[in-house]
Structure 1
Amino acid sequence: MLQRVHFDQDHPLHHTTATRTLEAVGIAASGPHVLMQRAGVAVARLATAIAPHAERIWVACGAGNNGGDGLEAAALLRNQRRNVSVSWLGSPESASDDTRKSWQKAVDSGVRFLNEPPDDLGEQDLCIDALLGIGLSAIDTARQPSPALLQLLTAIHTTQATVLCVDLPSGLIADSGQLAPGFEQPGGGSTNHQSARHTLSLLTLKPGLFTGAGRDEAGTVWLDDLDLPPGDLLPSTLLAGAPHRPHRPHATHKGTWGDVAIVGGEGLRERGMGMTGAALLAATAALHAGAGRVMLAPLDVDLLQPPADQPELMLRRFDMLELEKLTVVCGCGGGEAVRTVLPEVLRRSQRLVLDADALNAIATDPMLKLLLQARASHPVHVTVMTPHPLEAARLLGTSTAAVQADRIAAAQQLADRFASVVILKGSGSIIAAPRQTPYINPTGNARLATGGTGDVLAGLLGARVASIREDSEMPTHAFAAARAACWQHGLIADGWPPNSALTASALARRLTP
Structure 2
Amino acid sequence: MQRVGGHGSEPLYGLEATRSIERIAASSLPPHTLMARAGLRVAELTRALAPHARRIWIACGPGNNGGDGLVAATHLHRFSRSMGGLDIVVTLCGDSARQPADAAQALQQALAAGVQIQDAPPSSFDFAMDALLGIGGRRPPEGVLAEHLRVLRSSGAPVLSVDLPSGLDAETGVLMRAPGEAAQAPNQRHTLSLLTLKPGLFTADGRDAAGQVWFDDLGAPPCDGVLAQAQLLCGSPRGGAPLRRAHASHKGSYGEVVVIGGQDIAHAGSGMTGAAVLAARAALHGGAGRVYVALLAEAPVETALRWDPICPELMFRSVQALMNTALLQSASVVCGCGGGELVAGILPSVLSQAPTLVLDADALNAIALDSRLQTRLQERRSSGWITVLTPHPLEAARLLGSDTAKVMSDRMAAAQRLSDRFAAICVLKGSGTVISAPGRIPMINASGNAALATAGTGDVLAGMIGSALAIPAGTFEQTVQRVAGAVHQHGSLADRWIQRAGAGHLTASALAEHAC
CA distance in 2, matches of 1:59, 1:47: 11
**Cα deviation per residue 1:24-62 (whole Å; 9 max; x = unaligned)?**
112222132111111111111111111122111111011
TM-score after normalising by structure 1: 0.94
- Aligned-partner residue type, residue 227 of structure 1: G
Distance 1:446 1:276, change over 3 A: same
Corresponding residue SS for 2:426: strand
1:278 maps to 2:275: yes
1:242 maps to 2:242: no
Match of 1:263 among 260, 276, 290: 260
Further displaced range: 494-503 or 145-154: 494-503
1:91 maps to 2:95: yes
- Aligned-partner residue type, residue 234 of structure 1: L
CA distance in 1, matches of 2:423, 2:96: 54
CA distance in 2, matches of 1:211, 1:464: 24
Cα offset, 1:90, TM superposition: 2.8
Cα offset, 1:425, TM superposition: 0.2
- Aligned-partner residue type, residue 285 of structure 2: H
1:371 maps to 2:376: yes
**Cα deviation per residue 1:315-367 (whole Å; 9 max; x = unaligned)?**
11112222112211000000000011000000010110000000000001000
Match of 1:333 among 334, 338, 342: 338
CA distance in 2, matches of 1:131, 1:25: 25
8 Å CA contact 2:21–2:223 kept in 1: the answer is no
Cα offset, 1:305, TM superposition: 2.5
Cα offset, 1:185, TM superposition: 6.2
CA distance in 2, matches of 1:221, 1:305: 48
5 Å-filtered alignment, 1:119-198, equals: 119-121=123-125, 125-136=126-137, 139=138, 141=139, 144-180=140-176, 182-183=177-178, 186-187=181-182, 190-194=183-187, 196-198=188-190
Distance 1:184 1:259, change over 3 A: farther
8 Å CA contact 2:173–2:205 kept in 1: the answer is yes
TM-score after normalising by structure 2: 0.93
Cα offset, 1:499, TM superposition: 4.0
CA distance in 1, matches of 2:410, 2:96: 37
Match of 1:213 among 205, 219, 225: 205
CA distance in 1, matches of 2:7, 2:391: 26
Identify the residue that residue 83 of structure 2 maps to in structure 1.
Answer: none
CA distance in 2, matches of 1:412, 1:185: 31
Gap runs ≥5 in structure 2: 81-85
8 Å CA contact 1:373–1:417 kept in 2: the answer is yes
8 Å CA contact 2:276–2:293 kept in 1: the answer is yes
Identify the residue that residue 492 of structure 1 maps to in structure 2.
Answer: 493
CA distance in 2, matches of 1:324, 1:499: 41
Distance 1:291 1:193, change over 3 A: closer
Further displaced range: 458-467 or 100-109: 100-109
Cα offset, 1:120, TM superposition: 1.5
Gap runs ≥5 in structure 1: none
Distance 1:213 1:353, change over 3 A: same
- Aligned-partner residue type, residue 259 of structure 1: E
Equivalences, count: 495
Distance 1:367 1:167, change over 3 A: same
In angstroms, what is the RMSD of aligned CA positions? 1.4
CA distance in 2, matches of 1:234, 1:23: 14
Cα offset, 1:116, TM superposition: 1.2
CA distance in 2, matches of 1:117, 1:185: 22
Cα offset, 1:3, TM superposition: 1.4
Cα offset, 1:459, TM superposition: 0.6
5 Å-filtered alignment, 1:250-399, equals: 250-300=247-297, 302=301, 303-321=304-322, 322=325, 323-379=328-384, 381-399=385-403
CA distance in 2, matches of 1:88, 1:49: 24
CA distance in 2, matches of 1:258, 1:340: 27
